[in-house]
Structure 1
Amino acid sequence: MAALALLVVGGMALVNAVTGEPDQKGPSGVASPSAEDGGKTSPSSNEKSTPASDVPLVISVTGQPTTVVVRVADTQGEVLTNGTLQTGVTLKYDQAPLQVVAGNGGSLKVVIYGEVQPEKPAGQRGQWFVKAKS
């Protein structure tokens, strides 16, 4: 199973490299667990100085891999993330408003402006909306 996940991630990276698409602007950090640190991720320098209540959205895949779409909730609807996220992946978004849809909402831990959102039922679609902070 892990080999399949690596193959998929590697294939996506290869396609992005070949097509020459610019880096995504959405998530400011993507982290995956490693055996050395027990699955915990260390924050980047900018995460240490930003209070959790100021971060619009943090998504962590705590269950089975699931398809996630994150888009800017405006007239253009720019897609920031669209794909299958693997267990252990955490994405952080520094902009709002955002619309989030997950194929399996029960696989995600969603934190909006520092507040952990209620869990969704396993195996069911999950939706969240992140308002612009006023």
Structure 2
Amino acid sequence: MAVVAALALLVVGVMALIDAISGEPDQRGPVTSGTPSGGGGGGGGEATRTSGAASPTSTVPLVIRVTGQPTTVVVRVADAQGKVLTNGQLDTGDILQYDEAPLQVVAANGGSLQVTIYGEEQPRKPNGQRGQWFVRERS
């Protein structure tokens, strides 16, 4: 009986690891995701994901719009803990907003993204090439 329980636990662990590595989000469509407020370990910011148009303001540190092909995007808090806020494929039309800084952003295809930092649209990256951005804390 103990062997069966251990084997079941091992299978569940492997499945969770595969899901984590694949980067596929559990939910599809418009969702709000992010980190819980006040929990330390990298800040209490929140990422909002929508599939429609959003109007960035100059007070929002980061807005990412997928205007080209779907691409993998990683957004992490740029501090000692490096908490990952987003790690997965974003689809054409997806928009993410982040209410905290500093942030590091890396996209597999930087040319697929329109990146706005504090209301200022960033220069487009070449299509098919990795893109990187840094969002500084506003003083």
What TM-score do the two structures reach when normalised by structure 1? Answer: 0.71
Asked if structure 1 preserves the Cα contact closer than 8 Å seen for 2:110 and 2:130, the reply is yes
Match of residue 26 from structure 2: 12
Higher helix share: 1
Alignment equivalent of 2:127, drawn from 97, 122, 129: 122
RMSD: 2.3
Using a 3 Å threshold, how does the CA distance of structure 1 residues 126 and 64 change in structure 2: closer, same or farther? same
Alignment of 1:61-100 (within 5 A): 61-100=66-105
Mapped contact 2:50–2:94 kept (Cα < 8 A): yes
Q: Deviations over 1:86-111 (max 9, x none)?
A: 00000000000000000000000000
Higher CA-based Rg: 2
Structure with the larger RCO, 1 or 2 (CA within 8 Å, 6+ apart): 1
Q: Does 1:24 align with 2:39?
A: no
Q: Do the aligned partners of residues 78 and 63 (structure 1) sit closer, same or farther apart at CA in structure 2, a change above 3 Å counting?
A: same
Q: Is the 8 A contact 1:27 1:91 kept in 2?
A: no
Q: TM-score, normalised by structure 2?
A: 0.68
Name the CA distance, whole Å, in 1 between partners of 2:138 and 2:80: 18
Unaligned runs of 5+ in 1: 1-9, 15-22, 34-40, 44-50
Q: Give matches, 1:101-116, under 5 Å.
A: 101-116=106-121
How many percent identity over aligned positions? 64
Query: What is the rounded CA distance, in whole Å, between the counterparts of 1:75 and 1:60 in structure 2?
Result: 27
